[in-house]
């Protein structure tokens, strides 16, 4: 399969996941109402009515919607949220670390070559593994995260390959918008 077929497959899978989420919410509402109805029945109460069902449903759906809205607003601040949740720290242009400066130079070169704005670069100091990621909601607020192991162990050409790979995610619109996993 080529990239575009994979991208189409991923979009179809996303639609299925949304449908399964909606079904899970419906199941949660039904199950909660059944538990409350059973509890009231065994207590000998006849307080369970359509009004009780409506309130239980409203509370559950409202809670889920509030949680989704909160997370959506949090993540709409851009890729920096994901990078910071992973423990990333922005690399400053005046960093005394030569590895960090080299990484910033590579990112700036790739941005220039791709005609994109230069994304902010985060380093995950606690990660000695070889990995990187791109995150954000659009190219304008995308960030690139690089593990400490990557910027220290890769030579310039290898780092260019890794950073180029992350730029391809940004350019193709498959940046990691909502996840907090470190994998690319």
The catalytic residue positions are: 166
pLDDT digits (tens, 9 = 90+) for 171-182: 877 665 443 344
pLDDT digits (tens, 9 = 90+) for 23-69: 999 999 999 989 988 888 888 877 778 888 899 899 999 999 999 99
Please report the beta strands in the chain, taking only residues with DSSP state E, as ranges in sequence order. Answer: 89-90, 120-124, 132-135, 143-147
Q: Produce one character per residue of 47-73: b if its CB has 16 or more CB atoms within 10 Å, e if not.
A: ebeeeebeebbeebeeeeeeeeeeeee
pLDDT, position 175 = 66
- At residue 1 the predicted structure's pLDDT band, cuts being 50, 70 and 90, is low
């Amino acid at each position: 399969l080529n990239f575009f077929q994979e991208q189409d497959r991923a979009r179809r899978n996303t639609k299925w996941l949304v449908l399964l989420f909606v079904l899970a919410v419906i199941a949660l509402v039904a199950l909660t109402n059944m538990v409350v109805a059973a509890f009231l029945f065994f207590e000998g109460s006849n307080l369970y009515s359509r009004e009780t069902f409506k309130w239980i449903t409203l509370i559950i759906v409202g809670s889920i919607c509030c949680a989704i809205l909160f997370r959506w607003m949090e993540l709409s601040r851009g890729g920096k949220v994901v990078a910071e949740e992973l423990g990333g720290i922005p690399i400053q242009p005046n960093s005394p670390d030569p590895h960090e400066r080299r990484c910033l130079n590579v990112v700036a070169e790739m941005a220039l070559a791709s005609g994109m704005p230069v994304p902010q670069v985060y380093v995950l100091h606690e990660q000695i593994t070889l990995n990187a990621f791109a995150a954000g909601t659009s190219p304008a607020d995308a960030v690139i995260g690089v593990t400490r192991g990557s910027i220290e162990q890769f030579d310039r050409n290898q780092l260019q390959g890794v950073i180029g790979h992350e730029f391809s995610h940004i350019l193709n619109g498959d940046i990691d918008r909502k996840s907090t996993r470190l994998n690319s």
